[in-house]
Structure 1
Amino acid sequence: MIDTHCHIYMEHFEEDLPQVLDRAAEAGVRRILMPAINFGSLPRMDQMAHEKIRFHKMAGIHPTEINEGVSTTESELSEYCSSADIVAVGETGLDYHWSRAYKQEQQESLKLHCRVAKSVGKPVVLHNRESTGDLLDIIEQEQDGSLTGVWHCFTGSADEGRRAMDLGLYLGIGGVFTFNNAGVDEAVARLPLKKMILETDAPYLSPEPKRGKRNEPAFVRYTAQRLAEVMNLSLNEVDRRTTENAMKLFKLQDGIYL
């Protein structure tokens, strides 16, 4: 399995990182993709290592960092994202939950990230909280046929998921998908598996039955199992197909960016 969105480099894992990675390997996780919060995330990502797991970096500025005054230029972001060891641009996106005072700044940052993603030929990784309409509208505006990416932590309706797929996006299926009464599973059941990938967003949003605990990459297996149930497929089939999807989206082969 591939955990396509995991903040394994964060301080939440400082005390037991080796054990966390061992559990991930035992659960069948073979690759972990790490979205950036800001450029300061990158040196910490470089410290991640495990004999059975390959790690892949992203570069970008999280929308809540924009609220705090963090910014970048197109040339700076492009320089980071052009590096061969960066597999995606992000995470970026929109977050209106904590504050709507910085909507314009977040939207301009998202557009910048999309431009860079197109210029370097890598997917954009999208955070979306209470901003679905604006986010998809911007992706539609920026889509010139070359933009690819993922709606990380998909929580939308079936219609929104279908629109995202039509715009060239994959859906990141994570812990919220497993929550009772969230309704995300019903939406996902109506959408094609060929545009879905697995993720944890660890240390956040642990899936059932670990909800409320610190999330970790090993828990991606619970999400995969629930997805198998919803799609009426075996766990092995969901693992195989979502892994193929992730390899295709992020252009991975033997853990190396092509």
Structure 2
Amino acid sequence: MILTDTHTHLYYEEDAGKRAALMQRCFDNQVTRLFLPNVDADSVKQVYELAEAYPENCFPMLGMHPCSVKDGWEQELDTIRASYGPHKIYAIGEIGIDLYWDKTTLPQQVQAFKQQIVWAKQLKLPIVIHCRDAFNEVFEVLEPEQGTDLRGIFHCFTGNLEQAQKAISLGLHLGIGGVVTYKNAGLDKILPQIDLSHIVLETDSPYLTPVPHRGKPNESSYLIYVAQRVADVYQVSLDVVAEITTANSKHIFGV
């Protein structure tokens, strides 16, 4: 069985011993494929270092998180773009719109989002979308971009059925993480109406820790709990969920 964490910030742990222990716990739980999104220019180095330490298991993604769109964001985005060359990357992300923390930067967030979609298409790479309190705004950006060259993941999907179907119609997979284990999240009602071929798994470690570890820092090894809950929701085996979602991730990222 191979489990794929399509979205983890495990590189935040810089202590070598603790990081090695985190990775070993992943391997112990069959989580052997980890995709690493940066969030700003400073985190590019951390992403690359972890990918270099575990080249068979960790795969870099680069982009500007919408919460990083602040004064001087254009220069920072240029710095991130310049770092694409030395290392192979597998997606542009995480990118998108976040109106939970700051609504005043919406025009700049949209501008950065659109620019990075252009880069993804130029490089023939998928995008990994961060969306918080911004479904309408994200779809407004994506709809004109729809086509065979638009693909990727709607990271940490927590929307309704209509929003799920809209994302899928735009060529995106739904990233399902720890929220699916939360009692009143509602994903257990939506997912059975979505074919598993449209689903990938993620942790967003160290955030959104699944039950039974909710309240503690998340880690990629906890993907096993997400996968088991998804298996329960779909009434299939854990092996089936692992096989299909990992195959989906390979289709998206090409590795």
1: CA distance between counterparts of 2:100 and 2:14?
23
1:78: how far off? 5.0
User: Counterparts of 2:83 and 2:144 in 1: how far apart (Å)?
Assistant: 24
The separation in 2 between residues aligned to 1:107 and 1:197, in whole angstroms, is: 25
Within 5 Å, which residues of 2 pair with 1:39-54? 39-48=41-50, 54=57
Question: 1:1-258 to 2 correspondence within 5 Å?
Answer: 1-11=3-13, 16-48=18-50, 54-67=57-70, 69-72=72-75, 78-81=81-84, 85-252=88-255
CA distance in 2, matches of 1:125, 1:179: 23
Letter in 2 for 1:27: N
Aligned residues: 252
Higher alpha-carbon deviation: 96-105 or 51-60: 51-60
Deviates more, 1:41-50 or 1:69-78: 69-78
> Any conservation in 2 of the 1:6–1:201 contact (CA below 8 Å)?
yes
Q: Tell me, which stretches of 5 or more residues in structure 2 are unaligned?
A: none
Distance 2:141 2:91 in 1: 18
Following the alignment from structure 1 to structure 2, what is the Cα–Cα distance between the partners of residues 22 and 52? 15
Is the contact made by 1:178 and 1:226 (CA closer than 8 Å) also made in structure 2?
Answer: yes
Displacement of 1:67 in angstroms is 3.3
Distance 1:209 1:161, change over 3 A: same
Alpha-carbon distance between aligned partners in 1 of 2:142 and 2:176, rounded to the nearest angstrom: 19
Deviation of the 1:71 alpha carbon? 3.0
> What SS does the corresponding residue of 2:73 show, helix, strand or coil?
coil
Q: Which runs of 5+ in 1 are unaligned?
A: 253-258
> In terms of mean alpha carbon deviation, does 68-77 or 208-217 score higher?
68-77
Distance 1:44 1:73, change over 3 A: closer
State the secondary structure of the residue aligned to 1:71: helix
- 1:250 and 1:84 map into 2 onto residues whose CA distance is 15
CA contact (8 A) 2:160 2:190 kept: yes
Q: Helix, strand or coil for the counterpart of 1:228? A: helix
Q: 1-side partners of 2:239 and 2:55: how far apart?
A: 19
Cα 1:91–1:159 shift into 2, 3 Å: same
Shift of 1:28: 0.4
Q: Which amino acid aligns with 1:194?
A: S
Residues in 2 aligned to 1:44 and 1:52: alpha-carbon distance in whole angstroms? 14
Q: How far off its partner does 1:54 sit?
A: 1.0
Distance verdict in 2 for CA 1:34–1:193, change over 3 Å: same
C-alpha separation in 1, matches of 2:233 and 2:47: 34
SS at match of 1:94: strand
> Deviations 1:220-255 (Å, cap 9, x if unpaired)?
010000000111110000000000000110000xxx
Deviation at 1:11, TM superposition (A): 4.0
Contact 2:41-2:79 at 8 Å conserved across structures: no
**Cα 1:133–1:117, aligned 2, differ >3 Å: closer, same or farther?**
same
User: How far off its partner does 1:158 sit?
Assistant: 1.0
Q: From the two aligned structures, give the one with the greater helix fraction.
A: 2
Provide the TM-score with structure 1 as the length reference.
Answer: 0.91
TM-score (norm 2): 0.92
Please state whether the residue corresponding to 1:22 is helix, strand or coil: helix
The CA distance in 2 between the partners of 1:175 and 1:83, in whole Å, is 33
Identity %: 33
Label 1:191 to 1:152 Cα distance change in 2 as closer, same or farther (>3 A): same
Native 8 Å contact 1:21 1:50 kept in 2: no
CA contact (8 A) 2:41 2:77 kept: no
Structure-2 change in CA distance of 1:77 and 1:39 (3 Å): closer
The alpha carbon displacement at 1:145 in A equals 2.7
Distance (whole Å) between structure 2 residues aligned to residue 77 and residue 44 of structure 1: 13
Cα contact 1:126–1:152 (8 A) shared by 2: yes
